[in-house]
Amino acid sequence: MPPTPAEAPPPRRVGHRAPSERRACRRELRTWVQWLRRTAELHNDLPPCWYRHRWTREMLTALHLGRLRTYAGEKTPGRELAEAEWINTLHASRPHMKPPACAGGHQEPPPPPDPGAEEEREPYLATSGDTRHHRPGEAPGRGGATADDRRSGPPL
């Protein structure tokens, strides 16, 4: 039996909250990220445009919630090193904080194509650097081209 609304946990994702709650959560995250950049000396790893990148926001939100649970939550038996584990998680996340597109200054991430538009999807999948899959019969790592395609030259 599913929990009643009174028993259900609050939504973790900011997008599932009321607009006023979303603004409060984003302000809290912004304040925490400012603190984190100073305290953990992340100014070279975490660009000022972090809030404009969905995955960076997601990662920072997870780190923020993890820190709250670790430092402010109830102490769990067997988790005596929880604080050290959180710090290790933070350090492991550092290489992923700066979007490669923003290494030389902020660049907007490309908007995703309409998932229902096949005529837009195929060129996107063929040219986008963020897709790493291939179809059966295609050579992985070759931009989706089969051996026959490579022999016949560039597409018309």
The answer to whether residues 10 and 42 touch, using CB atoms and an 8 Å cutoff, is: no
CA distances from 45 to 64, 81, 91, 127, 136 (A): 16, 25, 11, 28, 38
pLDDT of residue 29: 93
pLDDT band, residue 98 (cuts 50/70/90): confident
3-state secondary structure 55-108: HHHHHHHHHHHHHHHHHHCCCCCCCCCHHHHHHHHHHHHHHHCCCHHHCCCCCC
pLDDT digits (tens, 9 = 90+) for 48-65: 888 888 889 999 999 999
> Is the pLDDT reported for residue 71 higher than 60?
yes
Least confident of 19-33, 51-65, 99-113: 99-113
pTM summary value: 0.57
Q: What would the mean pLDDT of 25-30 be, rounded to a whole number?
A: 92
pLDDT band, residue 67 (cuts 50/70/90): very high
d(CA 117, CA 9): 37
Q: What would the mean pLDDT of 23-46 be, rounded to a whole number?
A: 91
